[in-house]
Amino acid sequence: MRQYQLAIVEDEPHTARYIQGIVEATNLFHIAAVCESAEELLTLEPFPDLDVLVTDVKMSGLTGLELLRELQTRLPQLCSIIISGYDSFEYARDAIRLNVSNYILKPISKDELTVALLHLYDQLSNLRQKSGEEYLNSLYQEGEQPLEQALSLPAPYYHVLMAAGMNDQNQLILRCRTLLALEKHPELQICIYQYGFLILLGIAPEDTPESCRKLAEKCLGLRIFRDENDKMNRSLADVGGSVLVVSQFTLYGDVSHGRRPSFIGAARPETAIPLYEQFLAECERLGFPPQHGEFGAYMQVESVNDGPVTLIVDTKDLK
């Protein structure tokens, strides 16, 4: 399920924590920032790509309405909920002018805020779906050429077609069109490759930059694509292939005891992130600039695995 990016701006810490708890209970939004002032949010680096702002209307410095007015110049599709301790006609009028989604008076009702958040989620999902449909329609009208390259649609999901071993470009395009036509959710981000590796990368505490180098050289040098004799004999370079790398700490899940997996075998983020970035750099050094997700981010990745061919490559076993 898509989690939209949400920021809370509230100068009363206990109220901010209360709002945060309600938001987290919906499991529909990722809280990208909790700030005590508008100025604190505006100076965040990197600035989050927000979908929703929940802000107090009156704070020291910029007001919540002034903050919203500033953010709307950066994020035109931003949705908002205004929290106010003032039953003021002027505030409500200005909120309407700024197209605020909901105006909630303090003390905050848990049920009222929850309903407002659910309404916002539906509103955002409908907007994304409509945007995806319009983009797909434009692709159909433009013809086949755009489908020959990697595409990025304005939408939340990753849909990855790994068409390894498909030599006929027309078959590839036809297959892409078929998948798009049958897809239940047109709100997609699409990467289309004629050949390629989907690498799920797990990192252990004992891994090093040197093991990343060896792993990249091993993976990208594998000869696993079919040749004219239907034998695994061609490498990624031989077929002009592409690479998608996705961080996957759950590869180190231990289910030997109990019913819930333990992930103590996976490296902690402060160790894993530099090595993940090192692996990406090694792929680029070897001539295969990788497509990749964001470390630790929530993603939905689908792959069509022709063959199928799935290999485990462990740095402990590399010579």
The one catalytic residue in 197, 225, 249, 279 is 249
Q: Is 30 helix (H, G, I), strand (E, B) or coil?
A: strand
- Rg (the chain; Cα; Å): 24
Q: Which helix (H) or strand (E) holds 151?
A: none
Q: Is residue 250 flagged as an active site residue?
A: yes
Q: Is 82 helix (H, G, I), strand (E, B) or coil?
A: strand
The one catalytic residue in 5, 26, 248, 300 is 248
Three-point CA angle 100, 8, 56, nearest 5°: 60
Q: Is 208 left (phi over 0), alpha (psi -120 to 50) or beta?
A: beta
The one catalytic residue in 77, 123, 178, 250 is 250
Name the residue type at position 8.
I
Residue by residue, DSSP assigns 241-287 as -EEEEEE-GGGG-B-SSSSS-B-TTSPPHHHHHHHHHHHHHHHHHTT
Q: Is residue 141 flagged as an active site residue?
A: no
Residue by residue, DSSP assigns 187-221 as -EEEEEESSEEEEEE---TT--HHHHHHHHHHHHH
State the catalytic residues.
248-250
